[in-house]
Amino acid sequence: MRALVVDPGAPGSLRLGTAPEPRPAPHQLVLDVRHISLNRGEVAFAGRRPPGTVHGYDAAGVVVRAAQDGTGPAVGTTVAAFGAGAWAQRMAVDTGAVAEVPGKVDLADAAALPMAGITALRTLRSRSILGRRVLITGAAGGVGRYAVQLAALGGAHVIASVGSAARADGLTELGAHEVVIGLEGVDQPVDLILDNVGGPQLAAAWQLLAPGGGVQNIGWASDEPAVFEPYSLFFVGPAKTMSTFGDVHEVGPDLATLLTFTADGRLSPEVDWRGSWERVTEAAQALLERRIAGKAVLDVEPAKAA
């Protein structure tokens, strides 16, 4: 089958090549992939994986083989999926990591949701946000734009931080109450920070955290380390926390929630770039250069009938 595989010598360390057919475990189904979604971190670190690896985690398509253990959807069901080896004509994926796509949701839009949407949803669940001040850095990216919408749905006062004025477009319409460049103008404490930037801005954002507040470290768009002054992490009072995020266990129910929100018109998929997977180098470069606001979705060439 055809697949996007790791090739350190290719632009962006990815090329359209071939790979063996997936061999599903008993708890996995096989998906005929119709659309895939690129995430900036996946593209940036593709070259760190072994050559020939089928890359990617986000896909949407049609079940062509049900799981042997009897779990999960039946053959013919359209689903969104999260799992390794997604950027191929077919993928094997755990039945606990898929969700049926409602009829009102375009399958390409569904492919945009898994990694970025799950990350936004689960980091916002780290504490109560109703009536709280939530700061989202890197808010113009895939995770950021979902987080802005979900935080607003959860009743938060949403502060969207972006790197430039051009990146601010559309964030107010998505639910941001304030849109700032960097941290300029944020002069009141915040209760939760979803950090996609890292670097010096992370250290500065920590100083804005209210007693009992928390930082969820999601990404690191900065090319610099975060340097904290001596004793700057010490605080007398309710503990301030800084946590990593990487919980992608049993994402199916949360993915179903995101798809329901999308079907109901409460969550925009924010697909800013779409094209054939033959154009993967173009899409990857646009992501790395931050010329995409939101998500990039590639259409997968259908497999030929045997």
The whole-model pTM stands at 0.94
Distance CA(306)–CA(304), nearest Å, equals 6
Please name the residue that has the structure tokens 């980091």: 123
Instruction: Find out whether 29 and 65 touch, Cβ atoms under 8 Å.
Output: yes
What per-residue confidence (pLDDT) applies to 304?
57
Distance CA(267)–CA(110), nearest Å, equals 11
Answer positive or negative: Cα dihedral of 255, 84, 249, 215: negative
What per-residue confidence (pLDDT) applies to 11?
85
What per-residue confidence (pLDDT) applies to 302?
72
Q: Tell me the CA distances in angstroms from 126 to 26, 138, 158, 217, 235, one per residue in order.
A: 33, 19, 16, 12, 20
75 is written with which tokens? 């053959």
200-206 contact pairs (CB < 8 A, 24+): 200/224, 200/226, 200/227, 201/137, 201/161, 202/137, 202/226, 203/227, 203/228, 203/229, 203/232, 205/135, 205/137, 206/232, 206/233, 206/240, 206/242
What per-residue confidence (pLDDT) applies to 12?
85
Instruction: Find out whether 26 and 69 touch, Cβ atoms under 8 Å.
Output: yes
What per-residue confidence (pLDDT) applies to 303?
58
Q: Please calculate the CA angle 232-247-267 and round it to the nearest 5 degrees.
A: 95
Q: Tell me the CA distances in angstroms from 214 to 124, 241, 242, one per residue in order.
A: 11, 5, 6
Please name the residue that has the structure tokens 């890292």: 198
| Domains, in order of start, for the chain | 2-112+269-299 (3.90.180.10), 117-244 (3.40.50.720)
SS3 164: coil
* Average per-residue pLDDT for the chain: 95
What per-residue confidence (pLDDT) applies to 306?
41
How confident is the chain (306 residues) per 10-residue block, as mean pLDDT? 95 93 98 97 92 97 98 98 98 98 98 98 95 97 97 98 95 98 96 97 96 95 94 92 90 98 98 96 93 96 59
Residue-wise pLDDT for 200-233, tens only, equals 999 999 999 999 999 999 999 999 999 999 999 9
